[in-house]
Structures are given as C-alpha cells and as structure tokens.
C-alpha cells in the first residue's frame, strides 16, 4: 500500500516539474513513509511514497523499471507468485521478490489483458517511454483510489485530493451535484465525480490511456452472470467456502505481520474465525472499538464469543474518550478529503490508531460482504418486490412476517416496509433513489436536481440483484472504501478486504435470492459455509448494527457542538430551509440528526477547503 503521484506536462521546465512532483509527494507522504522515489523523463514525472509490505528490500522501491516501461503502483496483487511462475516459464527473469515487478513484466507480456489474471487491489500507472503513452488502471471494485486532472493537453494524477491541490490546474470550484449527493444520500463520490469540478475519479474496473494530450477510458471487467447457477444449495455452500478460504489465504500473503479488525458482526467474525481455525498456533492480533454508557452500542459481548472459541487470538479494545473526539473528528475530516457523511468514519479512524499503536502494518477487514450478500435491511424491499412481481403474495407476506417477527417490528413499521416494497416493484432503481434524494431528508437546494445520477438498470435479472449490483459500484461501497483507504493510510496501514475477491463476488451473483436471504436470515450462504468456524452465537445472530457510533446525536451536543454553533456559509443552499432544521435539532428533535451532521460537517469542510 502506497501513494502514487505524477503527471505528463510538456509545458514545464524540468525544475518546475520536479518542484510540483515534490509537493504532490509531500502531501501524501503518510501513505508511504518507508521510501520516497521519483522518476523524471520529461514530459513524464512519476513519484511514489512506499509502504513496504512485500519484499522489504530496497530492490523493490519505486518507481520501478523494466526495459522502456516505468511503474508507480499502490496496492497488492495477491496471486503474484502464481503469475510469476507463469512468466518464468516464458523465459523472464526477476530481480526482486515483489508483486510490483510481476505487474510490470505482465504488462510487457500481455498488455492490458494482464489485468484479467490479477486477484487483488490496485491503482497503478505505467509509462511507456517508447510509445510516449501513459497507461493507468484501477482494480475491479475501486478499493484503491485514483484521481486526476486534465487540462490543456496535460495530465496530473494522485492517490488523494491532497496530491492534486498544489498542481497548476487545480481550482477549488465545488461540484454542487456531488455535494447534493453527499448531503441527501451520504455518497462521497459517484462514478467519475469528486467534490471539486476539476478533479475526476478513474472509475472502478477501468483503464485509462493518456497519449498525445488525449484521454481514453476502457472498462475491462464487469459482473454479467446473474441468478443462473445450476449448483445445488449444498454445492453452493461448498463453493463459497472454497472461494472464501482461498481469498483469505491469499490476503494473508505479507512480509510483515497481519492483524484484523473485529467488530462482532458476522463479516469480521467470519474472517477472524477462519484465521483462528487455520492458524491455531499464531497469536493473531485483532482490534475493536466500543462505547460505554446507556444506550451505547458495545459489541464486546459478540467479540468475546469469537475470543472464547479461539483463545489464542489477542484482541485489543479501546473506547474513545470525550476529550479525544474533537481531535479525532478533525483528523478524520482532514485525511478523508471529503465532508464525512456520518460519525462512523471517526470510529474507524480510532480503530486504525489502535492498530498502529500495536505496530501492525496490515489488517484484514470485512467491507463488501453486505453489498452482495444482502446484509442490509433495505435489501428486503427488493426481495419482497421480486415476490410481488411474480404475483407470489403468499411468499411476499411470509418473508415480511418472518422478518418482522425476528426483528420485533411494530405494525406501522411493517406497513412501511410493505409500502416501500410496492414502490420497489413499480419503480426502477434510478426513480427510487431520486425519490430518496428529494424526499427522505429536507431538500435545501433552491433548484430541482434531476438526472444527477444514473445507476445501472440490469436486464434479465431481478430487483434484488440489480439493487446489490448498484450497492457495489455506485451507491454504498465506493463511499465505504473511500473511508477504509483514508483512515488506514492516515496511519500508514494497509487495509485488505478479502470479501472483495472478484471470484467470490462473481460466484455469489449467480446464486438465487433465497441463497442470500431466507426469511429473517441474511447472508445465508455465508453463514452455512462458515458454520463450523463461527461461534454459534454469531452464526445465529440476526440483528444488523453496522458500524454504529453515538456521534450524530451525542457528539454534536457535546465535544463537536462547535459545528452546530458556527454560521452556515454554504452559498448554494436555501438557508431559510436549513437553519430552522438546525434549531429544531438544538431543541432536542433528533428526527433528521444524520442530515444535520452532514450539513454542519459540510459547512466545516467548505471552510477548510475553499
């Protein structure tokens, strides 16, 4: 895990170019404090901040070169050893033990087709000095970030916003559409749009070529098979178990110690339980954040279930103190580069701080599972919608009753779920999100905003699969991965997400709805595949907490009250609509507490960034 930066700009002198490159690298040095390297071959300037994880020797420093190719790379290709053997059979010789060299020689041998062989996460740039062509690629799910600015035939790129702010074409003109998505929906990015008009995002599963002042984008991978598996359910369970095991095993490849985040939910517990069973003689370190007090979410009882089953696991816990929250919030906001949409990233920052204090440079985390295994409660709207679409009213009612009974939902809430399921039956995903965008929270933008997001409407599949696909690529996961990257890299930690092994994701999308949700049981195939590893209490757990923190209510009335008390200086919203909502919150109305958090944090972020 590292930070990359660079540009192609023929208008600069070598001295000017090196100054810009130095500033870009200095802004992101936290991503890779082990070594900073530069390669200058005007008009190409490549820079790299290295976090040493695989092949700790200086031989693996970057930029790295092979023949007329030069690379800067952020990420891990976990199956690099297998690819390396294949390349050796073709006659290639290697000078390092790194995956970087494997990527570079793979590109030499197969060109862009090499990406089809990679299992991992990456954002890299390869400069072909012979063709005078820059090739960039981002992994299938966008686990690793890649931002760029293009102007007047020049191209600048970086792992973070920060790396681009010192470049000659950066302007702080705010992208109002993205700001609206963040405020109303909590999305921190969308497709190729960032919070600044000038900064673009290379979308997940895309390659970019910059040559002769022009950019071309190519999508190299997608999920195409839905709900068409011929396997029996028991065969699906075994297949999932095999793929999951392989994914975690590959993600454990490292030349430094690997730990894991442990929240007590089924995702992180699955990873840690598997590690506990596979490495019975290893004192694997895990890390948990909790909050004390009445009505606070404290997951330690669930975490302790895992520790009791695998006592050789060393779990470290921490509860952020009241007098630390302001500092944690400010640093989370700084490293995030965006106006964080909830208080959860602050807790995640605290987790990574705890990891760092125990000298761990790599952690496994459970991100991604909810998005394709239907872990979120609102998956039920689409699941019931699929029954209604097939005119299976008995089946729809059975699912609703089972869920309501398990979650102890009142009749009014049950009616609300049924109403939303009807909407999911008659409206497409774009229309549903447009409705949520305009109606769920107060809409304080003076002008209507139509068609500011276009998510996928997949043909020949059902409502649930379409919904899950969009969670992965547009609506949920990109934001979560943004926080995952920034909070871990704030402490120079590599965070790995084995649930996002693309082979596992592809397989699950071929499964039927009932393989994912069975009545009140979510993530059914995951539970059954890991049943022998998981503690019984975790296997049977049906409440979905998420990464819950008390921030949107308690912190805003405590350590972060200053955010509420500052004048709102957002010039593109209708303050006459916004200010009364803040006053209602100050008087104790928590109805729109999350939206109030987003509004005042946006206000603070704009103050610091414009």
Asked which of 509, 539, 569 is the last residue of a domain, the reply is 539
> Does the residue 548 lie in any domain?
no
One domain, residues 422 and 563: no
Pair 481, 595 in one domain: no
Crossing angle (nearest 10°) for helices 266-278 and 300-309: 20
Q: Do residues 526 and 602 both lie within one domain?
A: no
Distance CA 556, CA 4 (A): 36
SS3 516: helix
- In the 3-class helix/strand/coil scheme, how is 434-489 assigned residue by residue? HHHHHHCCCCCCCCCCCCCCCCCCCCCCCHHHHHHHHHHHHHCHHHHHHHHHHHHH
Query: Are 167 and 141 contained in the same domain?
Result: yes
Strands 44-50 and 64-66 come out as unpaired
Return the pLDDT at 551. Answer: 85
545 within some domain? no
Q: What are 282's two structure tokens? A: 């290893």
Domain membership of residue 43 (yes or no) is yes
Backbone angles phi, psi at 196, to 5 degrees: -115, 140
Q: Would you state the pLDDT for residue 346?
A: 96
**Statement to judge: residues 272 and 191 lie in one domain:** no
- Measured CA distances, 257 to 54, 95, 260 (Å): 11, 24, 10
Mapping DSSP to helix (H, G, I), strand (E, B) and coil, where does residue 147 land?
A: strand
Contact call for residues 262 and 303 (beta carbons, < 8 A): yes
What pLDDT score was predicted for residue 406? Answer: 87
Q: 80 and 198 share a domain?
A: yes
In a domain, 227, yes or no: no
Nearest Cα to Cα of residue 36 among 7, 58, 8: 58
- Mean pLDDT by groups of 10 residues along the chain of 610 residues: 94 96 98 98 97 97 98 98 98 98 98 98 98 98 98 97 97 97 97 98 98 97 96 98 98 98 96 97 95 83 97 97 95 98 96 98 97 96 96 94 89 93 95 94 90 87 96 98 98 98 98 96 97 96 69 93 96 95 96 97 97
C-alpha–C-alpha distance, residues 124 and 529, integer Å: 34
Q: Is residue 467 part of a domain?
A: no
Q: Residue 27 CB: number of other CB atoms within 10 A?
A: 21
Same domain for 57 and 190: yes
pLDDT at 544: 67
Give the pLDDT of residue 545.
58
Domain extent at residue 333: 233-372+476-539
- Report the alpha-carbon distance of residue 349 to residue 177 in Å, rounded: 27
Residue with tokens 């702010």: 165
Within a domain: 550:
no
**Do residue 43 and residue 137 come from a single domain?**
yes
The pair of structure tokens assigned to 161 is 């916003």
- Do 385 and 368 share a structural domain? no
Whole-number Cα distances in Å, 443 to 436, 579, 585? 10, 12, 16
Last residue of a domain, one of 432, 458, 484: 458
Q: CA dihedral defined by 391, 392, 397, 402, rounded to 10 degrees?
A: -140
Task: Count how many domains the chain has.
Answer: 4
Whether residue 464 lies inside any domain: the answer is no
Place of tokens 């809430």: 413
DSSP 181-229: HHHHH--S-BTTB-SBTT-EE--TTEEEEEETTEEEEEE-------S--
Residue 83 in contact with residue 98, Cβ under 8 Å? no
Q: Taking the CA atoms of 314, 261, 497 and 124 in sequence, report the sign of the dihedral they define.
A: negative
Question: The domain that contains 52 carries what CATH number?
Answer: 3.60.20.10
CB 361 within 8 A of CB 53: yes
497 and 351 both lie in a single domain: yes
Q: Are 68 and 129 in contact (CB under 8 A)?
A: yes
This model's pTM is above 0.95: yes
Q: Give the H or E element holding residue 156.
A: strand 154-158
CATH number of the structural domain spanning residue 275:
3.40.50.620
Residue 468 covered by a domain: no
Same domain for 279 and 322, yes or no, is yes
Distance from the Cα of residue 523 to its chain's centroid: 19
- In Å, how far are 235, 383, 486, 527 from 230, measured between CA atoms? 9, 21, 40, 21
* Domain boundary, last residue among 219, 254, 287: 219
My answer on whether 255 and 204 are in the same domain is: no
């Amino acid at each position: 895990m590292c930070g990359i930066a660079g540009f192609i700009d023929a208008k600069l002198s070598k001295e000017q170019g090196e100054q810009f490159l130095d500033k870009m690298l200095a802004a992101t040095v936290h991503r890779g404090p082990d070594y900073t390297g530069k390669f200058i071959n005007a008009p190409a300037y490549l820079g790299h901040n290295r976090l040493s994880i695989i092949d700790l020797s200086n031989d693996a420093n970057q930029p790295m070169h092979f023949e007329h190719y030069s690379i800067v790379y952020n990420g891990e290709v976990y199956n690099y050893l297998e690819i390396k053997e294949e390349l050796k059979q073709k006659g290639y010789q290697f000078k390092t033990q790194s995956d970087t060299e494997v990527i570079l020689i793979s590109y030499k041998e197969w060109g862009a087709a090499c990406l089809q062989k990679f299992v991992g996460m990456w954002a890299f740039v390869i400069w072909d000095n012979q063709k005078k062509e820059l090739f960039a690629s981002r992994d299938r799910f966008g686990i690793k970030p890649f931002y760029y600015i293009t102007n007047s035939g020049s191209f600048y790129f970086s792992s973070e916003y920060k790396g681009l702010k010192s470049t000659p074409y950066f302007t702080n003109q705010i992208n109002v559409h993205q700001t609206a998505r963040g405020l109303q929906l909590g999305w921190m990015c969308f497709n190729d749009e960032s919070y600044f008009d000038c900064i673009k995002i290379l979308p997940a599963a895309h390659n970019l070529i910059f040559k002769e002042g022009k950019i071309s984008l190519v999508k190299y991978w997608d999920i195409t098979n839905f709900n068409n598996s011929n396997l029996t359910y028991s065969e699906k369970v075994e297949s999932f178990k095999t793929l999951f095991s392989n994914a975690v095993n590959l993600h454990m490849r490292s030349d430094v110690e690997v730990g894991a985040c442990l929240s007590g939910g089924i995702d992180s517990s699955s990873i840690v339980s598997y590690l506990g069973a596979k490495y019975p003689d290893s004192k694997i370190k895990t890390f948990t954040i909790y909050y004390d007090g009445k009505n606070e979410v404290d997951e330690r009882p669930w975490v302790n279930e895992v520790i009791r089953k695998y006592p050789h696991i060393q779990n470290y816990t921490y509860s952020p103190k009241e007098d630390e929250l302001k500092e944690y919030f400010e640093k989370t906001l700084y490293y995030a580069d965006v106006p964080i949409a909830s208080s959860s990233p602050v807790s995640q920052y605290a987790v990574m701080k705890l990891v760092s204090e125990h000298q761990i440079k790599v952690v496994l985390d459970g991100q991604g599972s909810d998005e394709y295994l239907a872990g979120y409660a609102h998956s039920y709207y689409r699941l019931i919608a699929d029954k209604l679409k097939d005119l299976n009213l008995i089946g729809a009612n059975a699912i609703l009753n089972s869920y309501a009974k398990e979650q102890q939902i009142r009749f009014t809430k049950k009616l609300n779920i049924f109403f939303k399921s009807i909407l999911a039956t008659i409206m497409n995903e774009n229309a549903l999100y447009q409705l949520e965008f305009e109606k769920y929270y107060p809409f304080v933008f003076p002008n209507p905003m139509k068609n500011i997001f276009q998510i996928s409407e997949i043909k020949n599949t059902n409502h649930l699969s379409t919904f899950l696909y969009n969670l992965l690529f547009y609506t949920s996961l990109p934001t979560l991965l943004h926080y995952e990257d920034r909070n871990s890299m704030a402490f120079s930690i590599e965070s790995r997400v084995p649930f996002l092994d693309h082979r596992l994701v592809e397989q699950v999308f071929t499964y039927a709805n009932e393989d994912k949700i069975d009545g009140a049981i979510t993530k059914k195939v995951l539970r059954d595949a890991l049943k022998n590893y998981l503690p019984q209490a975790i296997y049977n757990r049906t409440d979905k907490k998420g990464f819950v923190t008390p921030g949107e209510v308690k912190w805003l009335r405590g350590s972060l009250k200053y955010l509420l008390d500052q004048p709102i200086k957002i010039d593109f919203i209708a303050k006459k609509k916004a200010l009364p909502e803040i006053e209602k919150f100050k008087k104790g109305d928590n109805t729109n507490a999350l939206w109030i958090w987003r509004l005042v944090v946006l206000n603070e972020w704009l103050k610091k960034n414009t």
